[in-house]
Amino acid sequence: MIARALVLGLALALPVAAGAEVLPEPDPTVLFDANDPEMNSAITAARKSLPLFLNNALDADGFGPRGAYVKVRFPVSGGNFDNENIWVGPFLRLDRADFVGLLANQPEAMPGLNAGDQVTFDYDMIVDWNLDAGAGRFYGDYTTRVVISRLSQSEQNHYKARFIDPPVPTDWLR
């Protein structure tokens, strides 16, 4: 247990020391109503495929590969909303339900936290996932696809080429 904690500390400290891997082109910040049917459908689809992502992307020690992220719903207080959904990566699965990782975006409603800061979260807080497939293309990103669909046409064209359809690698479905 102590060795795992030490490995965890080193694994998460290295990206910070080297300049945390903050997403190069993060999602634009967009507020959504908690009852938005399209966003809720995207979250449902992402959560349905989450076990496939975790089973295929994480190594035997629970580490996600470079370019793997989870979007986590953190409760917030004050301000105009109750939750902030934010990308976390790199991340580590500590056990069946618990994770630790680094914020990959700058939080909007989480005072005292910044991109690159370590956070803990549990499985039920994960609302989406993203996996870099190389060449600027990505699997997952269910909620991002909804956000993009609501941007101007030129912005949509810029982002849509990033996403691979279907959002789950077909070899994971075998």
Query: How many CA atoms lie less than 13 Å away from 162 in the CB half-sphere?
Result: 19
- pTM tops 0.75, yes or no: yes
Question: Coil, strand or helix: which one is 165?
Answer: coil
Taking CA atoms, 134 is separated from 39, 76, 164, in Å, by 26, 34, 11
Evaluate whether 118 touches 11 at the Cβ level (below 8 Å).
no
Taking the domains of the chain in order of start, what are their residue ranges?
A: 2-173
Tokens read off for 34: 């908690």
Taking CA atoms, 129 is separated from 5, 10, 22, in Å, by 24, 24, 15
Question: Coil, strand or helix: which one is 11?
Answer: helix
Instruction: Please give the chain's pLDDT, 174 residues, in tens.
Output: 333 333 344 344 434 333 445 555 555 567 788 899 999 999 999 999 999 999 999 999 999 999 999 999 999 987 778 899 999 999 999 999 999 999 999 999 999 999 999 999 999 999 999 999 999 999 999 999 999 999 999 999 888 889 999 999 999 988
